[in-house]
Each structure stands twice: as C-alpha cells, then as structure tokens.
Amino acid sequence: MKSSSWPEQAISFGFFFFCYYSFVGVFPPYVSLFFAHKGIGAVEIGVLMSIMQGMRIIGPNLWGWAADVTQKRSRVLQLTAVFAFLTFFSLFFGATFFQFALIMVVINLFTSAQGPLSDAIMLSEMRGNLTRYGQMRLWGSVGYIVMTSAVGLFLDRYGIEWMPWIGAMILALVFIVSMRIHDTAVIHVSREKTSVWRVLRRKEVAAFMVSAFFMLASHSGLYAFYSLYLARLGYSNVTIGLMWAFGAAAEIAFFIYQSPIFQRFGIKPVMLLSLFLAFVRFLLIGVGAESLIILLVAQLLHAATFGAHHSASIITMQRWFAGPLQARGQAAFISVSYGIGGTLGGLFLSLIWGQLGPEAVYLFASGFALLALGAAVLSYRWQNL
C-alpha cells in the first residue's frame, strides 16, 4: 500500500467519526446544563460528569477485551452502538441525583467503547500506515463543530430540555453508520503469546500512562465545568457552543497538517509542546475567562492540547500495542487517561469548585498539566529519545 493511499473503508470511517463525535459535541457540553435545569447542584454535576469519565475505565476494557478475543471488532462496535441508543432513553425519566448517576453509568458503559473500538478497526486496516489518520479523524471534529454550534443555537431558542431528543437521534445515526463498518482480515505474523500487562509494566510505558493520566485529569476541568463556568460568567448557550466549536476547528487544522508536522519535528517535540501548552491554556481560562479574546486564545490551544496530544498518543500506543493487542492497547490508554485520570481529576476539581470557586479549578488543572509534562519527559528519557 502506498504511503498516500486511503484505507478501503475511509468513507465509512469518516461518516462514523462525524456521527459519533457529533454526539460528543452534544452530550458532554450540554448535559451539565441539562442537569442544572433539573435542579442538580454544581458539585453534584461534577460528580455526574466524573461518572462519565469513570466508565471509560470499565467500558473500553470490557469491550476491547471482547473485540480482541472474538476478533469481531465491528460486531462489538455495532452491539455497543445499538445499546447506547436504547439506554439513552433513560435520560428522559431521571429526576434525582442518584437516578442520573445510574443513568450515566448505563449510557457511558456503551458510548465509552466506541472511540477506541473504531480507532482499533481503522488502525488494523491501515496496517501501521498512519498517513491518512488525521484526515479521516478530522471528520469527527467537523461533526463536533457542526453539532455543538447548531445545538447551542437550537437550545437557546427552544430550551435545554430538548437535549436528550437530539442526543437520541444522533445515536440512532451512529448505529446505522456502524453497520457499514467491517473487520479487515488480520495477517498473523507470530504465534508468540502476548500480554498487555507485560507491555504496561515497562517503565517508559508506565511513565507515558502517568502523563496521560495527569493530562486528562487537567482536561476534566474543561469537560465537567467549562459550560457551567461560562454560563455563570453570563455567556449565552450560543457563545458557549461557539467556544467548543472554535476549539474543535483548531483541532481540525492540526489534523489536516499533522503528517508533515510529525515528519518534520517528530513525535517527542510535538507531545512535549502540547503538554506545556495545556498548562498555558488552563492558566488563561482560570485568570482571564471574563475576556472573550483570552477565551478564544485558550480555545485555539485545543489544537495542541487535544489534537496534537491525541494523535501523538495514538501513534505511540500503536508502536507498543499492535496486532492482537490493538483494541486492548487503545482501551488501556482511554481507561488510564479519560477513565482514571478524568474521573479522579473531575472528583478532585469538584471539591475545588465547592471550596475555592471555579477559577481555582483551572489553576489546579494547569498544575496537573505540568505533572503530565514531567512524566512525559521521563518516558522519553527511558526510551532514549
């Protein structure tokens, strides 16, 4: 396969990413506002959003294990898609914190698996050639931008209570598109037994996972509280949606040009710069969110703190976890970063919100980003890079 060739299922992957990340553009940004509309307090909302991250510990590992063991990754993806759609209707019946907590567990058990599963299927078809990865993944960002912006306008006009209806319709599309995806035949080059834990115990891998943990712990302040924070400062749902969309647009720009960027500079400098800019980004949000200009600059840095970090992480994980470990390797990354890091970070920052206020949330988040940078430096040192 030529380095510039597209995977056979490129169009299907692009459609899936568009639909799945359209859902991501609706659920995390607006569900916190939906909970507030239902009378749930800010600290309790932080806990509910942490449950969403926490299910990324269980969901990706459970479904990644099922996908690798059965070697029917597309079927597992379709199974999680249909159950995500069906269980999402429980959101219509929630009224109390405990009811919403159970609902978040059930919904995110299935939705949390779809990102790593689709990545694993695509990486398997690409057979290590990641030239086109960013150009397919950017369609997820396009879906995110379109839906976040459009839904912000719609909800401002018709009310936040419409959010569950929109989420359910998008999940129906996710399931329909998932039926177009099939597994690529795997070429077995070795019968040697492999173990995820054997790879994870290597000190450079463990340090990389610690870095991912703190990076997503810092981002939990964004995913759990950003919409609430801006709403408290008086920004409208339209402005909040446009802020999320602007960050995703910056991420798209990186995905378009990531191949020449990585070829010119390499993985290590891009990764370390993304971690440093995460420190800068959250510091800006913490001290300057009342300024629209500062918010725009901070959202522009999403190109580095998500786009560059995500792609560099996927490429790194692909090097360590390939072949029969592919789905479980991607699941391990999601579980440690978004799952454990996002959950513990969200719970800790919920306490900070309650005790010290929203501005302090982002100052602590910037500190987490510095810890992520330190762990990454150690990982690269142990890799002799």
Are 116 and 335 in contact, with CB atoms under 8 Å apart? no
**Cβ neighbours around 183 below 10 Å, total:** 17
User: How confident is the model at residue 113, as a pLDDT?
Assistant: 83
CA–CA separation, 321 and 61 (whole Å): 14
Angle subtended by helix axes 358-382 and 203-232, to nearest 10:
160
User: Which one, of 137, 142, 192, lies nearest residue 315 by Cα?
Assistant: 137
Which tens digits make up the pLDDT trace of 236-292? 888 888 898 888 889 888 888 888 898 899 999 999 999 999 999 999 999 999 999
Which tens digits make up the pLDDT trace of 38-71? 999 888 988 888 888 788 788 888 887 888 788 8
Are 368 and 352 in contact, with CB atoms under 8 Å apart? no
Q: Mean pLDDT lowest for which of 35-49, 244-258, 305-319, 324-338?
A: 324-338
**What's the predicted TM-score (pTM) here?**
0.74
User: Which one, of 141, 134, 178, lies nearest residue 25 by Cα?
Assistant: 141
Q: How far is CA 233 from CA 36, 47, 140, in A?
A: 15, 21, 29
367 band by pLDDT with thresholds 50, 70 and 90: very high
Q: 61-74 burial string, b = 16+ CB within 10 Å, else e?
A: bbbbebbbeeeebb
User: How confident is the model at residue 65, as a pLDDT?
Assistant: 80
CA–CA separation, 256 and 310 (whole Å): 14
Q: 341-376 burial string, b = 16+ CB within 10 Å, else e?
A: bbbbbbbbbbebbeeeebbebbbbbbbbbbbbbebb
**Within the chain, where are the H helices?**
10-37, 42-70, 73-88, 97-111, 114-126, 133-158, 163-178, 196-200, 203-232, 237-265, 267-288, 292-300, 302, 309-320, 326-334, 342-356, 358-382
Domains of the chain: 14-185+195-382 (1.20.1250.20)
Q: Which residue carries 């479980």 as its tokens?
A: 328
Cα-based torsion angle of the residue sequence 200, 201, 202, 205 in order, rounded to the nearest 10 degrees: 40
User: Which one, of 222, 243, 200, 204, lies nearest residue 306 by Cα?
Assistant: 222
Which tens digits make up the pLDDT trace of 179-217? 998 877 655 444 445 667 777 888 999 999 999 999 999
Q: What percent of the chain has pLDDT over 90?
A: 43
Mean pLDDT of 335-363: 89
